[in-house]
Amino acid sequence: MSRSFTIAVLPGDGIGPEVMDQALRVLDALASRDNLSFNYQHALVGGAAIDATGQALPPETVRCCEQADAILFGSVGGPKWEKLPPAEQPERAALLPLRKHFGLFANLRPGVCHPALASSSPIRPDLVEGGFDVLCVRELTGGLYFGQPKSRTTLPDGDIEVIDTMVYKKSEIARIGHVAFQAAMQRRKLVTSVDKANVLTNSVLWRETMIEVAAQYPEVTLQHLYVDNAAMQLIKAPRSFDVMVTENLFGDILSDEMAMIAGSLGMLASASLGKPRGDGLYFGLFEPSGGTAPDIAGKGIANPIAQILSAALLLRFSLGLEAQAKAIEDAVKAVIEAGLRTGDIDSGAAGTRRVNTREMGDAVIAALKA
Ligand SMILES: NC(=O)c1ccc[n+]([C@@H]2O[C@H](COP(=O)([O-])OP(=O)(O)OC[C@H]3O[C@@H](n4cnc5c(N)ncnc54)[C@H](O)[C@@H]3O)[C@@H](O)[C@H]2O)c1
């Protein structure tokens, strides 16, 4: 009998549905290869959900996710919905509540630059030669994005005052610290904690807590960087990082910087995880690092690899299918090494060939079956 899993599929907007199609084709190919059964429950989210129901995150979408083993998410937003008030914008009204509802506090973004793609990185070739592999661990449910009070007030003199509040509890810092150190134990055993402890009270507690957590992982080296320096070091010496751990806002910015120096947002997956379920697995939401890419949406040319690799992370963290996750990652690597390139990673190097979204999906499936 085949093992059966339920996956909530939320393609969203822009290139979301295009790249999601390829990820599902890859999962289907894997299912038939390994006698697995993936039951996809499709649901609306983001702008597509606003258009259909008036809400970016309809209650039936939340219910669909609650009944699933994990969520495979595309991306949300786009010019059509940009004029909505900030609280109703697709990202804020769909993604943030989803993360909060499921307590998805740990965002893991592997920033891998394949050696064969070093020429797609915008930084100096000698700095990325041989590729690099950084894991960014970002706290996802605290800090400035969620802290209260949050307000906008017109003052008596007509000036406008806005307030966002950065709040962290020690327990929240410690739990993300453990995620980072546990990941480092499986890697090169170096954690770089990023903060702004020379200015922010939040960061002072962050640093103290990371030092306490580090004491439980004597094999792992902990180093601290101020966020401004971290932004610089990522460009100057990306190979010097192993696991980077940081709070919500800093992680949002640094992980995009990391994605760009790795070659393209279209290559990088992410996993947003809640508490471990007890069997070592996590309920999670898995999505590409990039957005809806309105500039190329509808053209069939987006890179589906980030979405396909997000599906691999889903297999690993939520379904416990490590061998299948690795098979997808190896297939992607083989396709890159064979020279197939969507536009975002095509530097025109000799031995490469330009492909579209579906052709890239086809190639990954072929590599899986090989
Ligand atoms: N998690 C999410 O759903 C999420 C994340 C970021 C941005 N967004 C939303 O996406 C919209 C566009 O945002 P943006 O332009 O700042 O960022 P973006 O990531 O959508 O695009 C930035 C650049 O990267 C390129 N790109 C991204 N993914 C790609 C892929 N798979 N293949 C090829 N090229 C790719 C785009 O073409 C664009 O040139 C906005 O509405 C934003 O709010 C959503």
pLDDT digits (tens, 9 = 90+) for 143-168: 999 999 999 999 999 999 999 999 99
Is pLDDT at 247 greater than 90 in this prediction? yes
With respect to residue 130, please indicate whether it lies within any of the assigned structural domains.
no
* 241 and 160 within one domain: yes
Residues 39, 78, single domain; the answer is yes
Q: Does residue 132 lie within any of the structural domains?
A: no
Q: What is the dihedral of CA 282, 243, 176, 173, to 10 degrees?
A: 180
Residues known to be catalytic = 145, 196, 228, 252, 256
| Whether 278 and 233 share a structural domain | no
pLDDT value, residue 296: 97
Boundary (domain end) residue, out of 218, 248, 278: 248
CB of residue 266 inside a 6 A radius of ligand 1: yes
Tell whether ligand 1 has an atom less than 6 A from the beta carbon of residue 303: yes
309 lines ligand 1 (CB under 6 A): no
At residue 256 the predicted structure's pLDDT band, cuts being 50, 70 and 90, is: confident
Average pLDDT over residues 305-332: 96
From 162-166, 235-239, 264-268, the region with the lowest mean pLDDT? 264-268
Residue 281 half-sphere exposure toward CB, CA atoms < 13 A:
15
Give the domain extent around 185: 141-248
- pLDDT category of residue 2 using cuts at 50, 70 and 90: confident
Give the pLDDT score at 180. 96
Residue 237: give its domain's CATH number.
Answer: 3.40.50
What per-residue confidence (pLDDT) applies to 234? Answer: 95
Q: Strand 70-75's sheet: what is its strand order?
A: 36-42, 3-12, 70-75, 282-288, 269-276, 106-113, 132-139, 243-246, 190-195, 221-226
**Any domain includes 133:** no
The CA distance from 87 to 140, in Å, is 18
End-to-end Cα distance, the chain: 24
Does 355 map to a domain?
yes
Q: How far apart are CA 173 and CA 214, in angstroms?
A: 12
Q: Which of 248, 274, 295 is the last residue of a domain?
A: 248
| Residue 40 covered by a domain | yes
Q: Does ligand 1 have an atom closer than 6 angstroms to the CB of 111?
A: no
Q: Is the CB of 352 under 6 A from ligand 1?
A: no
The pLDDT assigned to 1 comes to 67
Tokens of 334: 């083989």
Q: What number does the ligand 1 atom closest to the CA of 89 have?
A: 43
> What's 150's DSSP letter?
-
Residue 86 lies in a domain: yes
* Tokens (6 digits) for 142: 């605290």
Q: Considering the chain, what percentage of its residues have pLDDT values greater than 90?
A: 84
**13-17, 122-126, 305-309: which has the minimum mean pLDDT?**
122-126
Ligand 1 atom nearest residue 288's Cα:
1
279 and 210 fall within a common domain: no
Residues 150 and 206 in one domain: yes
The CATH number that applies at residue 297 is: 3.40.718.10
Distance, in Å, from the CA atom of 110 to the CA atom of 126, rounded to the nearest integer, reads 21
135 belongs to a structural domain: no
289 lines ligand 1 (CB under 6 A): no
Q: Which residues are paired to 133 by β-bridges?
A: 112
Model confidence pLDDT, tens digit, residues 271-313: 999 988 888 799 999 999 889 999 999 999 999 999 999 999 9
Report whether pLDDT(182) > 70. Answer: yes
Mutate to test the pocket of ligand 1, among 18, 75, 256, 258 (most ligand atoms within 8 A of CB): 75
- Separation CA 140–CA 175 (nearest Å): 12
pLDDT at 262: 84
Among 202, 222, 248, which residue terminates a domain?
Answer: 248
Is the CB of residue 33 less than 8 Å from the CB of residue 368? yes
The β-bridge partners of 226 are 195
Q: Which atom number of ligand 1 is nearest to the Cα of residue 77?
A: 41
State the chain's mean pLDDT as an integer: 95
Distance 32 CA to ligand 1 centre (A): 32
C-alpha 297/C-alpha 194 separation (Å) is: 34
Hey, CA dihedral for 320, 72, 136, 367, is it positive or negative?
positive
Both 101 and 207 in one domain: the answer is no
Examine the domain organization and report whether 180 and 241 are in the same domain.
yes
Report the candidate in 185, 136, 145, 183 with the shortest Cα–Cα distance to residue 164.
145
What domain count does the chain have?
A: 2
Identify the band that residue 131 occupies on the pLDDT scale cut at 50, 70 and 90.
confident
Over pLDDT 70: what percentage of the chain?
A: 100
Please tell me the predicted confidence (pLDDT) of residue 130: 82
* 282 and 185 part of one domain: no
27 belongs to a structural domain: yes
Q: Tell whether 39 and 88 lie within a shared domain.
A: yes
In a shared domain, residues 50 and 106:
yes
Asked if 158 and 108 sit in the same domain, the reply is no
User: Do 70 and 159 belong together in one domain?
Assistant: no
Residue 264: the pLDDT is 80
